[in-house]
Amino acid sequence: MTKHIPTITFLRGLASMLVCFQHLIGVRSVGGEMYLKSDNFLWLLHGLGYVGVYIFFTISAFIIPYALHQNQYQIRHFFSYLFKRAIRLDPPYWFRLFSIVLIIIFLPSYKVEPATFEIGKLLAHLFYMNWYFAYDWFSLMYWTLEIEFQFYILIGLTYNLFTNQNKIICYCTLFLFLLLAYLTPNSYTVFYYGEIFLIGIILFLYYIDHFSYKEFVIFLLSTIFVATTKLPLQTLPPSLFVVACVLWLNIDNRISNFLGTISYSLYLVHAPVGQRLIYQSFSFIQNPLLRTLWVVFAILIAILVAYLYYLWIEKPFIKLSKKVKFLSSCE
């Protein structure tokens, strides 16, 4: 059983809300009209979706190896580990995916984002391989799931190298990871965001006392330096914010726990629910104050729907995934 870290739950909730704000505050009509003008105070929250994405990436790089550590993972458990992750995450995503497909086929006028249906495109979605086969996403924001999926495979294969008691092996693995991150130009691979994920891994190694404080600082600063030579500077503060929160804060309250618990469901459903509500009101809500209130209402409805989605779809598969034990391929 993985030890619960309340601050991680808080960060998940925060990240999902930032992504939600990005997609709902910035809604535009087909003709390009902004629902909320750029001088609206809610626009202070718009544009922070990337912060949520990088928080998610850093969290994953910390909490996935932490869960493996708690469960005494070995490379021989790789396939049962992947199966466990698949049961936990894929069915809620697939359910949402098939709902998009049904809408495209039977209710084409309902779509907020233009999309077409192809069998190859559906298969690419199912296995998170859209950009490898040059297929557009049914919903563009799901590109992050492809990056996360690659990381799950990568950390499953390399976890025992990162945590090896022989520090030379650990150091070499970190260096190779950082080198690949620096050399990778393709934004559809996990290594393009490698520095962001590496910050989470370094935090994990320090958190479990595999790294001393000196090692932690050296590798963290090295990763930051490499990141500044390649990635936009705004990518680093979200990851460093995660580091600071995990090390120095203990955020544990009902609101953050609630939002963190439904964060994956909120990520999956906020756009079709919230954007549809806003999109449909373009013609009959013109007053700026009423539009502001309507956006707030759409966000609250998205949270409510996400909660129901969590209860009815995501939670049963969470329970099912907990029944999967790490087994070696020969067991």
Q: What is the pLDDT of residues 2-60, one digit of tens each?
A: 678 999 999 999 999 999 999 999 998 877 889 999 899 999 898 899 999 999 999 99
Residue-number span of the structural domain to which 290 is assigned:
6-76+147-322
**pTM metric for this prediction:** 0.94
In a domain, 330, yes or no: no
In a domain, 99, yes or no: no
Cα atoms in the 13 Å half-sphere on the side-chain side of 115: 25
C-alpha distances in Å from residue 325, one per residue of 73, 196, 280, 330? 10, 29, 46, 14
In a domain, 234, yes or no: yes
Tally the domains of the chain: 1
Q: pLDDT digits over 81-135, tens only? A: 999 999 999 999 999 998 887 777 666 555 555 566 678 888 888 899 888 888 8
The residue with tokens 């629910």 is: 273
Which residues, listed in sequence order, are joined to residue 34 by a DSSP beta bridge? Answer: 28
In a domain, 47, yes or no: yes
Which helix (H) or strand (E) segment holds residue 43: the answer is none
In a domain, 195, yes or no: yes
In a domain, 57, yes or no: yes
